[in-house]
Amino acid sequence: MSLSLYIHIPFCKRKCPYCDFYSIGYDRELAVEYVNDLSEQIKKINYRIRTVHIGGGTPTVLEPVLLRKLLDALSKILKRSRENTVEVNPESLTREKLDLFRNYGLNRISIGVQSINDDKLKFLGRLHDSRQALTAVQNSRKAGFRNISVDLIYGLPGESLKNWKSEIKEISRLPVKHISCYSLGCEPGTRFYKFKKRISDQEVAGMYIFNMRFLPERGFFQYEVSNFSFKTFESLHNLNYWQGGDYLGLGPSAASFLKGERLKNIADIKEYLKRIRDKKDYISYRERLNPLKRAKEFAALSIRTKKGINVLDFKRKTGFDFFRVQEKAQLEKFKDKGLIKLSKKDNIIHKIFLTEKGFLFCDEVSSEFI
């Protein structure tokens, strides 16, 4: 059995006000303890791993000695896996860490740029400035990384389409192969929830449409709702998620999907470590998906990609006829709204995919497939 491996590093220098992922302030003593125990967990993995993703939190908040210990434990896996990604933040990415990543076989770097506008970065509570962001990209290229991805955030309160166009044009000229563009999330429980009503949906829609039209002109083809890349530089790790593949998550709050069972680790690092040492279960949630529910989720994930749903592939992967899982009447309703296209071959529907307008209402469409 082969799968993807996600490793959560739950430490940050400071938590961003819009972030709803599990993370805590950096504590070196706790970080040492965590990396030691995590390394032992990694050594016990007996699956064939095809992609590795080290995320957070902020993996680069760890000192080189801790990163080296973690990568030592991963070294055999990294030599065999096809894609090995590490998330980095500009303010904590050093040349020493870049060299360390390259030497251990990490071949993809994902940089939390978020913006190259200093006012936006301050509003977002980021610790880096635009100069550091651009330097992180250039240094990653100099260190030998060809597969460089950057994360960007748009749709801030008061942000104009004109300013976003200027920013994304400059980003597209950098030596990167992959761009992830996310509209600002103002989730309940975050400090940014108060800004939700100050964001113009019309302005954000204009920015998103511009992304879909402009980035392909620069060679970044859209392959999922928020993701654009050069050909062959799609994130294999994320594609595995969207294609309903198996994955293993290590660390507090990390999720797994193994043989039809969804699992979620407890979101508390101290309790997570205690349970590992006590050889107790650290799973906070588990759900066994029946075949029909798994098929529906596969449809909901697939429709979010540019390729959409191939009816024959759907049958091959799930065992279900797509039109027994999803009513044609609902599909026709979305088609009439201009949200999806139904591609036919010999007068038989063989592919369903989102239109440009459909991507704007992707959550509405995909939720109907569940």
Q: Quick one: what percent of the chain has pLDDT higher than 70? A: 99
- Helix (H), strand (E), coil (C) string for 202-253: HHHHHHHHHHHHHHHHCCCEEEECCEEECCCCCCHHHHHHHCCCCEEEECCC
Residue 292 confidence (pLDDT) above 70: yes
- Read off the pLDDT band of 195 (50, 70, 90): confident
Residue 363 CA neighbour count, 13 Å, CB half: 1
Please state the domain count of the chain.
2
**Shared domain check, 295 and 232:** no
Domain end position, chosen among 211, 241, 271: 241
What are the CA-CA distances from residue 210 to residues 137, 144, 163, 166, 344 (Å)?
23, 31, 12, 11, 29
Predicted confidence (pLDDT) per residue in 345-356, tens digit: 888 889 999 999
Q: Is residue 276 part of a domain?
A: no
Predicted confidence (pLDDT) per residue in 293-317, tens digit: 999 999 999 999 999 999 999 999 9
The CATH number of the domain holding residue 306 is 1.10.10.920
Residue 369 confidence (pLDDT) above 90: no
Residue 73 confidence (pLDDT) above 80: yes
**Shared domain check, 177 and 109:** yes
**Shared domain check, 315 and 189:** no
The answer to whether the CB of 7 falls within 8 A of the CB of 38 is yes
Residue 132 confidence (pLDDT) above 70: yes
Residue 241 confidence (pLDDT) above 70: yes
**Shared domain check, 325 and 201:** no
Q: Is residue 177 part of a domain?
A: yes
Residue 1 confidence (pLDDT) above 80: no
Q: What is the pLDDT at residue 197? A: 67
Dihedral of the CA atoms 21, 234, 82, 88 (nearest 10)?
A: -40
Q: What is the pLDDT at residue 201? A: 87
Residue 221 confidence (pLDDT) above 90: yes
Query: Which residues constitute the domain of residue 153?
Result: 2-241
- Read off the pLDDT band of 9 (50, 70, 90): very high
Q: Quick one: what percent of the chain has pLDDT higher than 90? A: 86
Q: Is residue 116 part of a domain?
A: yes
349 φ, ψ (degrees, to nearest 5): -65, 125
66 φ, ψ (degrees, to nearest 5): -75, -40
**Shared domain check, 315 and 213:** no
Please compute the mean of the pLDDT values over residues 250-264 and round it to a whole number: 97
**Shared domain check, 347 and 206:** no
Q: What is the pLDDT at residue 248? A: 98
